[in-house]
Amino acid sequence: MISPEYQQEYYQALLEKKTEYEGLFYVGVKTTGVFCRPTCPARKPKFENCEFYATAQEALLASYRPCQRCRPLSHPNHVSDVVRILVEAVEKEPEKRWREEDFRQLSVDESTARRQFKKRFGMTFVEYARARRMGLALKHIRSGQTVIDTQLSTGYESSSGFRDAFARIMGAAPTLLTEDRVLKASWIDTTLGPMIAVSSEEALYLLEFVDRRGLEREVERLRIKTKSAIIPGMTEPIRLIEQELNTYFSGKSTTFTTPLQLLGSPFQQQVWDQLMKIPAGETRSYAQIASALGKPSAFRAVAQANGANQLAIVIPCHRVINSNGELGGYGGGLTRKTWLLQHERTPLQAIQSSNALIHEQGEYNS
Ligand SMILES: [Zn+2]
């Protein structure tokens, strides 16, 4: 979300329909559930019902759907047919996962769709559809709405698209009553974008950026492996990790004490243990991790285990780079990897100088 200092300015731009703000922000309207461009001709919402986003993807992930009037996903003066057809198709079946033949059925060329979406919104159509789907699925998790038994039996919402999107990822809610286990999921806003945390009352199972590719399958695997239903809710481990992430992002600490539940093969667990031994501010190569495990030739398996990490930041898979010094991959995206590594190289100094400051102030006070 856009920082508070800009929100008033953007709200003013929204009231005045200022064209120079096109592309700078999108506004989600809480009362209607749609997001708009700054120049939308519709009646303007009250400030307290607005949420401002820098990208359309963020607005989608926050469960907003594109406004029918200002069509925030089209060029201001030109509505592309391809974009319109696809956006409408997504609204008809928001829970759908798109495959090649789906494009053919709509007589839309997949590569044209990819290009047009990428050029205008910085994401491909498949990413758009995923963001919309995840936004819907995570709507209750984001609002922190607790699901009570009556809701479970009557369904979440009248919209079957929403129910299906949620159920496909989090598991069919009604079966909860017969499930042995329940895991709870919460939404955590961070400097690098929203994350989802899934936990039992005892330990954290999953922590990922909401826009991470493959998150849906990750959550599904977790659900199947643990034979659990996942419902929106808060637990002690989630409260703790939220606190620790705050401290981490403000540069005050790089230590995490939240109890973790690692679900992986013995080899994966060994790799993750190694990752947690890499000090903040340093990096290792896949080959170095493999050597540390006494299996120097297993660096590909190490890379795979690295990618299978479900606890972003806490298990610092971002600290593993290629042997040639290149960044390598990152499930949460390379921009985030770069940011995290940069951030971890600076905190000690930051801590020292802020401690010094506190010290000085303390002396003034005494
Ligand atoms: Zn609009």
Cα 115 to middle of ligand 1, angstroms: 24
Q: What SS3 class is residue 112?
A: helix
Cα 53 to middle of ligand 1, angstroms: 14
Retrieve residue 81's tokens: 């047919």
Nearest partner of 181 among 280, 261, 276, judged by Cα: 261
Q: What SS3 class is residue 285?
A: strand
Predicted confidence at residue 165, as pLDDT, reads: 63
Predicted confidence at residue 148, as pLDDT, reads: 42
Buried-state track 168-206, b at ≥16 Cβ within 10 A, e below 16: bbbbebeebeebeeebbbbbbeeebbbbbbbbbeeebbb
Predicted confidence at residue 211, as pLDDT, reads: 87
Predicted confidence at residue 75, as pLDDT, reads: 67
What would you report as the CA-atom Rg of the chain, rounded to the nearest whole angstrom?
A: 22
Query: Which residue spans within 203-348 are E strands per DSSP?
Result: 204-209, 228-232, 284-285, 320-321
Q: Which of 14, 317, 321, 341 is labelled catalytic?
A: 317
Backbone angles phi, psi at 292, to 5 degrees: -60, -30
Per-residue CA distances from 162 to 63, 90, 92, 299 (Å): 10, 12, 11, 42
Cβ contacts of 339-344, under 8 Å, gap ≥ 24:
339/192, 340/192, 340/313, 340/316, 341/283, 343/249, 343/251, 344/254, 344/280, 344/281, 344/319
Predicted confidence at residue 133, as pLDDT, reads: 85
Q: What SS3 class is residue 182?
A: strand
Cα 37 to middle of ligand 1, angstroms: 6
Nearest partner of 89 among 77, 104, 75, judged by Cα: 104
- Residues forming a β-bridge with 208: 196
Q: Which DSSP category does 10 fall into?
A: H
Q: How far apart are CA 192 and CA 201, in angstroms?
A: 26
Three-state SS letters, 219-238: HHHHHHHHCEEEEECCCHHH
Q: Which of 36, 61, 204, 207 is labelled catalytic?
A: 36
Tens of each residue's pLDDT in the chain, 366 residues:
677 788 999 999 999 999 889 888 999 998 998 999 999 999 999 999 999 998 888 899 988 999 988 888 776 666 678 888 888 888 888 878 888 888 888 888 888 888 888 887 778 888 888 888 888 878 777 876 544 433 443 343 444 555 566 666 676 654 445 556 789 999 998 999 889 999 999 999 999 999 888 888 888 889 888 888 888 889 999 999 999 999 999 999 999 999 999 999 999 999 999 999 999 999 999 999 999 999 999 989 999 999 999 999 999 999 999 888 888 888 888 999 999 999 999 855 555 554 444 444 433 333
Residue 50 annotated among the catalytic residues of the structure:
no
Cα 40 to middle of ligand 1, angstroms: 4
Retrieve residue 219's tokens: 């959550």
Torsion, Cα of 71, 45, 14, 118 (10° steps):
-30
Predicted confidence at residue 190, as pLDDT, reads: 92
Residue 50, marked binder: no
Whether 56 and 73 have beta carbons less than 8 Å apart is answered as yes
Whether 190 and 245 have beta carbons less than 8 Å apart is answered as yes
CA–centroid distance for 257 within its chain: 22
CATH T-level assignment (fold) for domain 1-72:
DNA Methylphosphotriester Repair Domain (3.40.10)
Cα 182 to middle of ligand 1, angstroms: 39
Predicted confidence at residue 350, as pLDDT, reads: 52
Predicted confidence at residue 365, as pLDDT, reads: 34
CATH of domain 266-348: 1.10.10.10
- Residues forming a β-bridge with 209: 195
Q: Where are the domains of the chain?
A: 1-72, 80-137, 139-249, 266-348
CA–centroid distance for 129 within its chain: 14
Torsion, Cα of 268, 314, 323, 329 (10° steps):
90
Cα 64 to middle of ligand 1, angstroms: 11
Cα 300 to middle of ligand 1, angstroms: 48
Residue 70, marked binder: yes
Predicted confidence at residue 312, as pLDDT, reads: 96
